[in-house]
Amino acid sequence: MVSLAIDVMGGDHAPRAVVEGVSRALDSLAGIDRLLLVGRQPEVEAELRRVGKLGDARLELVHADEVIGMDEPPAAAIRSKRNASIAVAVDLVKQGRALAVVSAGHTGAAVASTVLKLRTLPGIERPGIAAVLPGTDGRCLLLDAGANVDAKPSHLAQYAIMGEIYMREILGVARPRVGLLNVGGEDGKGNELTRESFRILSGLGDGGMEFIGNVEPDDLFSSHVDVVVCDGFSGNVVLKTGEAVAKFIRDRLRLSVGRNPVRLAGAALLRGAFAEFRKISDAEEYGGAPLLGVNGVCIKGHGSSSPLAVRNAIKVAMEAVEHHINDQIVARVRELGVARPERLPPAAIQGEEP
């Protein structure tokens, strides 16, 4: 039975956008057995009534009266606000009542809560956020996109394995090409982190990984590489810059076309091309990014998620559950010999040494 926990209070437009996204998911996605909606029950019930889903047999309301604000330190907030919506949603996964959690709320709180409560997978030191980026012919997975800003070479090696499996199982690339984000494509480029990571990743080729070496930021959108690994600081900068540039181009085209009647007439002929560009460049179409490496499934949506983005994040969660990717990650990490030493306890949160 596919049962998912939804953090209804997470996100800039919660709870309205989240409930609308839930409604869209119920109407368009097959295989949903139960959605556990976590949040302030009176507010959630009001939104469900508005969209005509109050009383739907596939929905169960779980009351949580606290919300973690964007300006709160995540680890401290998780420990002090035990009834926060994201904390309660993750607890449902820990208890086995849900197979995955979906949240568009505070990224740090989502990461801290899942790692503190679910812990990392055997052999994994730090989890990473895997973001899907559009390419000229296909898609690219960027990992880590913001969960772990102080990464070590062993973390990046584990990200490469997790990204390889996710790209193969979820996105359908039979033999993913893995690259290391760097300031140049030549061997020996970069800082201590990237040089040591390059050495480790090069050795994984003996185990069947197709490591193609260093890649630069423009390669992420060129379809020359399928999985790109980096520290969370660099990945988050790349991701947010890419989103901002795509939005600028869409807004600028709309403004330029609208100013001129002749251009407006011509744009009608290109409506299909514009729609296709929006579809591949809009983060809402990809829904959410999985937090890979935790002992459960956590899908993190954008803070400004729309109903469409929430619906698609639920779809991503269902795919991750159905493909059992965590079992494959554990087996592959052990096979390639990059597992965390067993004498070390699982890492708790970003910034805390194991």
Q: For the residues 48-58, what does the mean pLDDT come to?
A: 96
pLDDT of 93 > 50? The answer is: yes
The pLDDT, as a whole number, for residue 279 is: 55
The pLDDT, as a whole number, for residue 134 is: 82
Kindly indicate the confidence band of residue 53, based on its pLDDT and cuts at 50, 70 and 90.
very high
Distance CA 113, CA 322 (A): 23
CATH class of the domain whose range is 128-286: alpha beta
The pLDDT, as a whole number, for residue 348 is: 42
Distance CA 12, CA 142 (A): 24
To 10 degrees, the CA torsion angle through 101, 107, 108, 113? Answer: -10
Asked whether the beta carbons of 26 and 56 are under 8 A apart, the reply is yes
Cβ neighbours around 120 below 10 Å, total: 21
Kindly indicate the confidence band of residue 135, based on its pLDDT and cuts at 50, 70 and 90.
confident
The pLDDT, as a whole number, for residue 81 is: 93
List the Cα angle 40/46/51 in 5-degree steps.
125
Q: For the residues 183-193, what does the mean pLDDT come to?
A: 89
The pLDDT, as a whole number, for residue 47 is: 97
Distance CA 307, CA 347 (A): 34
Q: For the residues 124-138, what does the mean pLDDT come to?
A: 88
pLDDT of 112 > 90? The answer is: yes
Distance CA 189, CA 144 (A): 20
Kindly indicate the confidence band of residue 242, based on its pLDDT and cuts at 50, 70 and 90.
confident
211-246 burial, b if ≥16 CB within 10 A, otherwise e?
A: bbbbbebebbbeebbbbbbbbbebbbebbeebbeeb
Kindly indicate the confidence band of residue 120, based on its pLDDT and cuts at 50, 70 and 90.
very high
Distance CA 171, CA 189 (A): 30
Asked whether the beta carbons of 44 and 15 are under 8 A apart, the reply is yes
Q: What is the pLDDT of residues 210-241, one digit of tens each?
A: 999 999 998 988 888 999 999 999 999 999 99
Q: Which string of DSSP letters, residue by residue, matches 56-85?
A: -TTEEEEE--B---TTS-HHHHHHH-TTBH
Q: What is the pLDDT of residues 258-298, one digit of tens each?
A: 777 766 666 665 566 555 555 555 566 777 899 999 999 99
The pLDDT, as a whole number, for residue 41 is: 96
Among 79-88, 171-180, 260-269, the range scoring the smallest mean pLDDT is 260-269
- Mean of pLDDT over the chain: 88
The pLDDT, as a whole number, for residue 250 is: 78
Kindly indicate the confidence band of residue 48, based on its pLDDT and cuts at 50, 70 and 90.
very high
Q: Where are the domains of the chain?
A: 1-122+293-323+344-354, 128-286
Q: What is the pLDDT of residues 287-333, one digit of tens each?
A: 789 999 999 999 999 888 999 999 999 999 999 999 999 999 999 99
Whether CATH 3.40.718.10 fits 1-122+293-323+344-354 = yes
Say yes or no: do domains 1-122+293-323+344-354 and 128-286 share a fold: yes
Q: What is the largest CA-CA distance in the chain?
A: 69
Q: What is the pLDDT of residues 3-47, one digit of tens each?
A: 999 999 999 999 999 999 999 999 999 999 999 999 999 999 999
